């Protein structure tokens, strides 16, 4: 099955700094990737996605980079705010299979 790992289980940044959250995946057939944010007491919330035919996608304050060669993706958050404090998950998907295999997640803490 899919093996998904996150390089850093915790990340602490200063408010206003940029954050980078990494994710490695093992299935080279994965062709669609989603980043979710989960705040305490809530369900995961969609942040941004990227398809395998792209290597970069930008949203509002967030950018996802995909490196298929090394099976790695990252989520960059610009000007991190206290409201960004949460656990972040990446979810690789393969084809039209909706079976998402999440990694452990990275806990981002933003210090004021």
Exposed e or buried b for every residue in 69-94, given b needs 16+ CB within 10 A? Answer: eebebbbbbeebeeebbbbbbbbbbb
Q: Which is nearer to other proteins, 20 or 94 (CB)?
A: 94
Indicate the residue among 25 and 105 with the shorter CB distance to other proteins. 105
31-90 binders of other proteins (CB under 8 A):
31-32, 34, 36, 41-46, 49, 51, 89
103: contact with other proteins by CB under 8 A? yes
Closest to 37 (Cα-Cα) out of 17, 53, 60? 60
Instruction: Report the candidate in 66, 65, 92, 72 with the shortest Cα–Cα distance to residue 24.
Output: 72
DSSP 82: G
- Whichever of 5 and 16 has its CB closer to other proteins, that residue is 5
Identify which range of 12-20, 57-65, 72-80, 92-100 contacts other proteins by CB under 8 A: 92-100
Task: Compute the least distance from the CB of residue 22 to other proteins, in Å.
Answer: 16
Task: Decide whether 91 or 110 has the Cβ nearer to other proteins.
Answer: 91
Helix H segments across 1-112?
none
Distance CA 46, CA 55 (A): 19
Q: Which residues in this chain contact other proteins in the complex, by CB under 8 A? A: 1, 31-32, 34, 36, 41-46, 49, 51, 89, 93-105
């Amino acid at each position: 099955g899919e093996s998904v790992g996150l390089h850093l289980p915790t990340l602490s940044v200063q408010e206003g700094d940029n954050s980078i959250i990494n994710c490695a995946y093992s299935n080279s057939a994965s062709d669609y990737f989603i980043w979710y944010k989960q705040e305490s007491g809530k369900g995961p919330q969609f942040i941004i996605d990227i398809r395998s035919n792209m290597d970069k996608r930008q949203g509002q304050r967030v950018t996802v980079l995909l490196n298929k060669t090394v099976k790695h993706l990252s989520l960059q958050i610009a000007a991190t705010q206290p409201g960004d404090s949460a656990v972040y998950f990446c979810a690789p998907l393969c084809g039209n299979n909706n079976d998402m295999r999440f990694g452990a997640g990275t806990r981002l803490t933003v210090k004021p």
